Amino acid sequence: MAMQVEPSAPPAPISGDLVRARRHCAGIFENLWRDAWSMPCYAEAGIRPSGMRRTTIMAAAKHRARLFVAAKLGIAPDVCRPDQMSDVEQLRTYYRICRDHAPADVRAWWIETHPTTTLGELKIGDKVRMKLAAWPSVASCEVTGFGELPPRLDSDELAPTIKFQKLTATGRLSKTVIELFLGGPAPERLERDLLPVHGGEPK
């Protein structure tokens, strides 16, 4: 005799207040990232966000904005989406966070909570964003190896070096190779790239 399966209970109806709260939060969230590409920091760094560069900046800004709101709410980023929230009061707090902050606040929070790294901490495969004195702006790079070079032309001794390759806007390795002395001067800016997007956002 076939087993009879009890029908599952229908999902509880969603209240009108919850529907409205989710809709308002989804709209106001753009306040934290939509205009990130127009922040003065890009002009100051000589970057003109357009085309692929603007798309990259906006994708990174949106990712950081979600982490920012999650940190303010004290919840995990993967559940920090209005359509995943069922507490109207929590959604009201979400709305106030987005309303009262701007892309510049998200950027300042990211810099404060993601300190720069040093060359000695890097390993092959690490992705970083750095700026050398000769570069007009920050560039995304990947650590591709280690080596040795004479630190001065008049020296026969070899010093350890670390090799980088610049990344294209799509995240692929370019032909540009940079080799820096591990014991030499640090780059002006050096930050681990913790994002799934590669871009030239200045610090």
pLDDT at 202: 39
* pLDDT single digits (tens) 39-83: 776 665 555 656 656 777 777 788 889 999 999 999 998 899 999
End-to-end CA distance of the chain: 69
Q: How many CB atoms lie within 10 A of CB 84?
A: 10
pLDDT at 90: 95
Q: CA–CA separation, 185 vs 16, rounded Å?
A: 60
Contact 191, 114 (CB under 8 A): yes
* Range of lowest pLDDT (19-33, 61-75, 105-119): 105-119
Which residues contact residue 62 at a Cβ distance below 8 angstroms, ignoring those fewer than 6 apart?
A: 33
pLDDT at 201: 42
